[in-house]
Amino acid sequence: MTYSYTQIGRYLRCPRSYRYHYLDGWREKETRAAMVFGRCFENALAALFRQEDCAAALFQEWGAFRDASFEYKKGESWDRLVHQGVHLLETFARDDRVHIQNPQTDLQAKRVRTLAGGNDFVAYIDAIGELDGKRCIIDWKTSSSRYSEEPEGLLSLDPQLICYSWITGISDVAFVVFVRKHAPEIQYLRASISDQQRQEFGRLLEATVGQIEAGQFASHSGIRFPQNGCISCCHLGLCLNNQQLINSNLTRKAGASDLDWLDELVD
Ligand code: SF4
């Protein structure tokens, strides 16, 4: 069995959601424009590092979805997203703070580590490169609002960055956040992950895989307003037995697939 951060993260958020997705085959419909745009934008970024025309790459990638019936947030449209994207790519190139030595191997960098029970853990890291001259793991984010920078050190608690630090052994990590707001902005957020955090993550991973293999899929429902995780969960319709919600948010494929680890690429 091959595990990924996406799988483990889903299990830790709610084991029942893990079962719906990986065992029962329920999949979220791709209706959110921002999510698909984020993927197109990351492909355009890769083109930039390969010294290709990144604006043309963005138009080509995002152009494939021009007539798709996506949900756009208030004030957003296909055109607005592409213009914000081009502006962000130009700003990023002008800032010139991130360098990737070998785009062929250091973008979407695959790392595999074997766990104690013989299972593999695979990660596809957005980039391994330099931010302001210092080697680090980089995760791209596109967002319509700024990431919180306070209190200091908050980023060092991000579980995905801890996971990538664990699998590579690299302490320095960063989020590069492309903020699609009225005046587009890029945040370069750095943190350092300690040895102790990496070891703790390794233990958490082994324990989590043990629970998955023991078939423990109890629901972790959120019950407190406003931080109720169920509200943003695509499986809410299944838990509430609400057919209308199921129809609007989910499709079903026949059982889980060996290719589920490819979901890692979605993050
Ligand atoms: S709706 Fe809530 S309880 Fe149900 S799978 Fe999602 S997070 Fe878990």
- pLDDT, position 107: 97
Ligand 1 proximity of 10 Cβ (cutoff 6 Å)? no
Ligand 1 proximity of 17 Cβ (cutoff 6 Å)? yes
The SS3 call for residue 24 is coil
Distance 22 CA to ligand 1 centre (A): 14
257: pLDDT strictly greater than 80: no
d(CA 79, CA 94): 23
d(CA 200, CA 156): 13
Distance 232 CA to ligand 1 centre (A): 9
d(CA 15, CA 211): 9
Distance 14 CA to ligand 1 centre (A): 6
**pLDDT one-digit tens code per residue, 171-219:** 999 999 999 988 889 999 999 999 999 999 999 999 999 999 999 999 9
**CA 110, 98, 155 angle in degrees (round to 5)?**
75
Q: Whose CA is nearest to atom 1 of ligand 1?
A: 236
Atom of ligand 1 nearest to the CA of 239: 4
- Which is it for the CA torsion 217, 233, 157, 106, positive or negative? positive
Distance 223 CA to ligand 1 centre (A): 10
Average pLDDT, the chain: 91
Ligand 1 proximity of 250 Cβ (cutoff 6 Å)? no
Distance 108 CA to ligand 1 centre (A): 30
Hey, which of 11, 17, 21 would you mutate to test ligand 1's pocket, going by the most ligand atoms within 8 Å of its Cβ?
A: 17
**pLDDT one-digit tens code per residue, 34-62:** 999 999 999 999 999 999 999 999 999 99
Whole-angstrom CA distances from 96 to 39, 91, 99 are 22, 9, 8
Residues 6+ apart with CB under 8 A from 233: 14, 17, 239
Q: Using a pLDDT cut of 70, give the percent of the chain over it.
A: 93
Distance 176 CA to ligand 1 centre (A): 30
223: pLDDT strictly greater than 50: yes
d(CA 216, CA 108): 32
Q: Got the DSSP string for 202-264?
A: HHHHHHHHHHHHTT--------SSS--GGGG-TTHHHHHT-HHHHHHHEEE-SS--GGGGGGG
Give the DSSP letter of residue 67: T
**pLDDT one-digit tens code per residue, 74-123:** 888 999 999 999 999 999 999 999 999 999 999 999 999 999 889 999 99
Q: Whose CA is nearest to atom 3 of ligand 1?
A: 221
Pairing of strands 26-28, 250-252: antiparallel
